[in-house]
Amino acid sequence: MGIIKVMIVDDDALIRDSLQLILDMEDDFQVIGTAINGQEALTLCEERLPDIVLMDVRMPVMDGVMGTRYLREQFPEVKVVILTTFKEENYIKEALKHGASGYILKSQPAESIVETLRSVAKGSMVLEAEVASSLTAFIDDRQKADPEAFQVTAREMTVLELIGAGFSNKEIAMQLHLSEGTVRNHISALLEKLALRDRTQLAIFYLKHF
């Protein structure tokens, strides 16, 4: 994996500067720009196309949830990690629904934030432990689904389960002794059969129904 290009979006200048300082100390990260709200982030994405956008939730003009929605619609290859001090369940659900690949708290240690971004860059979906626990009601309210009803094969079900557990394509390939190309084919088949947009929605589908 080469240099990971990151954009930092937060209306607090201290947070932006602190995060940039943390990432600038890492050899595999490059901060390609900062923005103070979701609207600025969209404009900057057009110019510089980051790999990951580290997005605050509560900002003026356009908040992080709407910023995530529009950014993922316009730049589906860009991953979004929500960064916030808030553990409110609605924010988590909405951010995930709109395609966020991770959700972490500003109270996390610097090294934990860095590792989260590395994991997301590799294709994993990452939730900070405290945040994941607040999804309990969302997950426990799930309705069981029958894979056969969706014509999902046993192998595809295994891939779906590993996506739900946060594994990247490379990790799934190693676990199942498959090529990454084969894993991508299984994911494409799952997306088509389940009428979903991306692997984040696959993970949420798995958590809600299995």
Q: Quote the Cα angle for 158-164-166, to 5°.
A: 110
Predicted local distance difference test score (pLDDT) of residue 144: 56
DSSP 107: T
Predicted local distance difference test score (pLDDT) of residue 143: 52
Q: What are phi and psi for residue 87, nearest 5 degrees?
A: -110, 25
Residues present in the chain in total: 210
Would you tell me which CATH number, out of the four given (1.10.10.10, 1.10.275.10, 3.40.190.10, 3.40.50.10260), belongs to the domain 142-209?
1.10.10.10
- Give me the residue spans of the domains in the chain: 4-137, 142-209
| β-bridge partners, 105 | 84
Per-residue pLDDT of the chain (210 residues; tens, 9 = 90+): 689 999 999 999 999 999 999 999 999 999 999 999 999 999 999 999 999 999 998 899 999 999 999 999 999 999 999 888 766 667 777 887 788 888 888 888 898 889 889 989 988 877 765 565 555 555 545 455 666 677 889 999 999 988 887 788 888 999 999 999 999 999 999 999 888 888 877 887 877 677
Q: Quote the Cα angle for 26-27-29, to 5°.
A: 70
CATH fold of the domain at 4-137: Rossmann fold (3.40.50)
4-137 and 142-209, same CATH topology: no
- 11's CB contacts (< 8 A; 6+ apart) are 36, 37, 56, 58, 59, 60
